[in-house]
Amino acid sequence: MNRDLLNMPATKVVDLLKRGEVAPAELIDLAEKRIAEVDGTINATVTKCFDRARAKAADIDKAMDIQTSHAGWLAGLPVLVKDLNEVEGVRTTYGSTIFADFIPKRSDAMVELLERRGAIVIGKSNTPEFGAGANTFNDVFGATVNPWNTKMSVGGSSGGSAAALATGQCWLATGSDFGGSLRTPAAFCGIVGMRPGPGRVPRAPTTLPFADLGVEGPMARTVSDLALMMDAMVGPDGEDPISREAPGYSFQSGIKQGLSPKRIAFTPDLGGLGPVDPEVASICANAMRLFEGDGVGVDLACPDLSGLIECFKDHRAVYYAGALKPLLEQHRDKLKPEVIWNIESGYTMTGESYGDAMRERARLFNAMAHFFETYDLLALPTAIVPPYPVEQRYVEEVNGHVFDSYIDWVYPAFLATMCSLPAISVPCGMTESGLPVGLQLVGKPRGERALLAAARRFEEAAGLLGDVPLDPKTV
């Protein structure tokens, strides 16, 4: 196996593809061998479609309807797609036994766009049922385990993509993020992942096309690779009413120009909204010194975010009731209790209570808009704990604080979601037991390019490049 090619950043592999020094078919063969080598241990790539991939590779030179000079042209690079996204002719389960045998007749908008821009889908990555829960397990495929310690969780819900990237099964992968579903697995697996602002990456078809809390986003092993995939993913779609035209610049350009923030705020806990594991808090606080060493001003500061957790839970409940009520009525016995709870929580919302939640969301956004008049970014831990035992459904308690529900422990992710802000998780250190910790950087509205540039500068200063891909560590 060509480990040099396997370990190579996606940006360099794409350069080789563009120059004809490596062929898509060669990369597909390499990925297939690597998946066979390691995935029996971690269970990240749950459906493979290598025959389809090879058929696509045979046509890649046609470049479809996108010029090969496009900043996001992937030139035949193999990618994995999260099992919440439909890929034409490929089993798509949503992590649910209800759809265990579902084979879609068309791909969703994001997958179609990626394939038009030269991506080759080689398989589907594992996800919890309907993406609900920050631990990747389901009754169709079982649990995905953490390659840094196979007794631990990868987080969720994009845990399969994160684990596959960390073990070198692919060079790029898709994720999605409602309440940290992309960011938490990135932190747990020592990779990078970004939640873009709503409308950047098209979502269609979908039950609730006007909903803006859940987004699709890129996952990669380096920030430069992440920027490349963002360029490949963005653009409008006629079936997505909130999708936007691609910006008049590439997301890779901010990295190349060396854009740097001037002033960053850091908070370990969003101003005291919840507990944080002391080791995680310490690692993230120490990481901020790297920004200071780069000449960036760092303050311990946070706006008033009281009410954020309940506001998020109210909006989430309404979303679940709208999106999944028909499945609850027809297949209640096949839904996990956390999903049922989310849906039924939405039933209890009144017009008055939802109106209150909408006004609270506006207050939070305005607080952040005012905050960003002073600061370029807000930094905080991506997750409040390191990876936890995989058999544990979710984090129930930290520092003596018992959480009210299965989603409360991922509260650091709620801010970007409720305020429509881009956010990225980048590795910032390791615990004494050898588990990754992620630093979350939250940017201004539509500020993905500057956010990527800041994350890239931090990544270089942290010196953690090259820690992945790795072979799974059984303990």
The model's pLDDT over 220-259, given as tens digits with 9 standing for 90+, comes to 999 999 999 999 999 999 999 999 999 999 999 989 888 8
Identify the active-site residue in 153, 176, 181, 243. Answer: 181
Q: Are 390 and 151 in contact (CB under 8 A)?
A: yes
pLDDT score recorded for residue 247: 94
pLDDT score recorded for residue 59: 86
Segment 96-120, tens digit of pLDDT: 999 999 999 999 999 999 999 999 9
- pLDDT per position in the chain (475 positions), as tens? 788 999 999 999 999 999 999 999 999 999 999 999 999 999 999 999 999 999 999 988 765 445 578 899 999 999 999 999 999 999 999 999 999 999 999 999 999 999 999 999 999 999 999 999 999 999 999 999 999 999 999 999 999 999 999 999 999 999 999 999 999 999 999 999 999 999 999 999 999 999 999 999 999 999 999 999 999 999 999 999 999 999 999 999 989 888 899 999 999 999 999 999 999 999 999 999 999 999 999 999 999 999 999 999 999 999 999 999 999 999 999 999 999 999 999 999 999 999 999 999 999 999 999 999 999 999 999 999 999 999 999 999 999 999 999 999 999 999 999 999 999 999 999 999 999 999 999 999 999 999 999 999 999 999 999 899 999 999 8
Closest CA to 31 of 147, 148, 145, 122: 122
Q: Judge whether 157 counts as a catalytic residue.
A: yes
pLDDT score recorded for residue 475: 82
Closest CA to 130 of 188, 174, 84: 84
**Cα–Cα distance measured from residue 304 to residue 327, given in angstroms and rounded to the nearest whole number:** 38
pLDDT score recorded for residue 63: 55
Q: Are 91 and 124 in contact (CB under 8 A)?
A: yes
pLDDT score recorded for residue 259: 84
Phi, psi dihedral angles at 268 (to 5 degrees):
-75, -20
Q: Are 185 and 162 in contact (CB under 8 A)?
A: yes
pLDDT score recorded for residue 68: 72
Distance from first CA to last CA of the chain, Å, rounded? Answer: 25
Six token digits for residue 300: 């311990």
Q: Are 160 and 81 in contact (CB under 8 A)?
A: no
Q: Tell me 242's DSSP state.
A: T
Torsion of CA 234, 240, 242, 247, to 10 degrees: 20
Q: Are 167 and 117 in contact (CB under 8 A)?
A: no
Q: Are 383 and 188 in contact (CB under 8 A)?
A: yes
Identify the active-site residue in 107, 125, 157, 243. Answer: 157
Other CB atoms within 10 Å distance of the CB of residue 42: 25
Distance of CA 131 to the CA centre of its chain: 11
Q: Judge whether 158 counts as a catalytic residue.
A: no
Q: Judge whether 56 counts as a catalytic residue.
A: no
Report all structural domains of the chain as residue ranges with CATH numbers, in order of start.
Answer: 3-307+354-462 (3.90.1300.10)
Amino acid (1-letter code) at residue 79: V
pLDDT score recorded for residue 408: 98
